[in-house]
Copies of this chain bind each other. A is one copy, B any other.
Amino acid sequence: MQKSRFVKDIKEGEQVRELFLVAGKALLTSNAGKAYLSLQLRDKTGPIEGRVWDRAEEIGKRFDRDDVVEVSAIAIAYQGRVQLKVHDVRREEGGAKDLSAYLPVTRKGIDPLWKTLQGYVAEVRDAEMKRLLSAVFPDPPETDVARRFRQAPGGKTMHHDYIGGLLEHTVSVAGICRFLSTHYEGVNADVLLAGALLHDIGKVHELSYEGAFDYTDEGRLLGHLYMGAEYVDGICKSLPGFPPEQAMVLKHMILSHHGELEYGSPKRPKTVEAVLLHFAENMDAKVTAANDAIGELREGARWTDYQRMFERYLFSGKFDK
């Protein structure tokens, strides 16, 4: 079955028979004591709640969180929002054919971003660095890591929280680092670019994104800094003759890119390249989040809602003419 109607287009009173991703599932009891199934459904245009009032338990056993399901329902209004009163649910075998139908996706396009990234790899002059980058980012992306790297979000909620967000963030940081290696003397351009491309590679397994974005056990216990450095260590060791000093310097950049111990880096940046990467990375996360917040402002509004990442309100800088 193909998905044809999307959450944002569903209106009160309509009959709905459509595919959704299950982002949450809970068996609850109403005030009147009746058991019902509450479903968090979603597609790429946003979330919608569904409630199953009849055969709640039986239907609830047919599928799990992160499955794709076909829902038969009628759309009703509840507390000012549209909600689905669900008659039936069927699990779609094989899951999502295309995850991007169910989750938000980078506006910049995964393929164009991937092409930019490959262009950066092609610019690297140091043969060893290029060999390493080609191993991590083969084109076409035939490894599991490369495939996940193209899909993974950049974060759970804070910034770049959409499919392809990790790729978008990585390409942006690499672009800044590329500029900085020409702006400053004495910078090892190849090391800086390689560090930029690899710095968040650990996120490939830190977050699961097959349904709602969430941290994996490994992500919570070890974190993407460690996971990225360990991964790069493994790849470097698998490349015969790869210089251990280069591996050490790259692992240092990955571990230190949060800049300060209290932000989770076990070591702070100690090379010029690590210092630059930290600034570029931090700036990209912040500016993207600020731009997103300002971009969502209603017409005429000058101040955003309170931004937890910044612990402040942001100003659009747009004045009425």
Residues of A within 8 A of B (CB): 12, 28-33, 77-80, 172, 175-176, 179-180, 183-186, 188, 191, 217-218, 220-223, 225-226, 229-230, 233, 243, 245, 248-249, 251-252, 255, 261-268, 270-273, 275-276, 279, 282-283, 286-287, 290-291, 294-295, 302-303, 310, 312-317, 319
Chain B hits for A261, CB < 8 A: 261-264
Whether the Cβ atoms of B317 and A78 lie closer than 8 Å is no
Whether the Cβ atoms of A283 and B279 lie closer than 8 Å is yes
Residue on B nearest A31 in the bound complex, by CB = B79
Whether the Cβ atoms of A183 and B175 lie closer than 8 Å is yes
Q: A222-B251, A223-B266, A226-B229 given. 15 additional CB < 8 A pairs?
A: A30-B80, A179-B179, A186-B294, A186-B295, A221-B315, A222-B229, A243-B319, A261-B263, A264-B267, A270-B314, A271-B315, A272-B317, A275-B290, A276-B283, A283-B283
Chain B hits for A319, CB < 8 A: 243, 245
Pairs of residues from A and B, 3 with the lowest C-beta to C-beta distance, nearest first: A29-B80, A221-B252, A279-B283
The CA-CA distance from A291 to B270 in the complex, in Å, is: 11
Whether the Cβ atoms of A255 and B220 lie closer than 8 Å is no
Whether the Cβ atoms of A217 and B315 lie closer than 8 Å is yes
Chain B hits for A249, CB < 8 A: 221, 317
* Min CB–CB distance A202 → chain B (angstroms): 11
Whether the Cβ atoms of A183 and B188 lie closer than 8 Å is no
Other-chain contact of A222, B12, B186, B255 (Cβ < 8 Å)? B255
Whether the Cβ atoms of B276 and A317 lie closer than 8 Å is no
With A33-B12, A186-B294, A249-B317 already in contact, the answer to whether A270 and B220 are too (CB < 8 A) is yes
With A229-B226, A262-B262 already in contact, the answer to whether A28 and B80 are too (CB < 8 A) is yes
Task: Give the residue among A79, A270, A314, A316 with the most B Cβ atoms within 10 A.
Answer: A270
* Min CB–CB distance A259 → chain B (angstroms): 10
* Min CB–CB distance A144 → chain B (angstroms): 16
Other-chain contact of A184, B185, B268, B291 (Cβ < 8 Å)? B291
Whether the Cβ atoms of A270 and B184 lie closer than 8 Å is no
Whether the Cβ atoms of A291 and B185 lie closer than 8 Å is yes
The CA-CA distance from A282 to B276 in the complex, in Å, is: 11
Chain B hits for A248, CB < 8 A: 217-218, 221-222
Enumerate 30 A-B pairs (CB-CB under 8 Å) in ascending A order: A12-B33, A28-B80, A29-B80, A31-B80, A33-B80, A176-B179, A184-B287, A186-B291, A217-B248, A220-B315, A222-B251, A222-B252, A222-B255, A222-B267, A223-B255, A225-B266, A226-B229, A226-B251, A229-B230, A243-B319, A261-B261, A261-B263, A261-B264, A265-B266, A270-B313, A270-B314, A271-B314, A272-B314, A279-B279, A279-B282
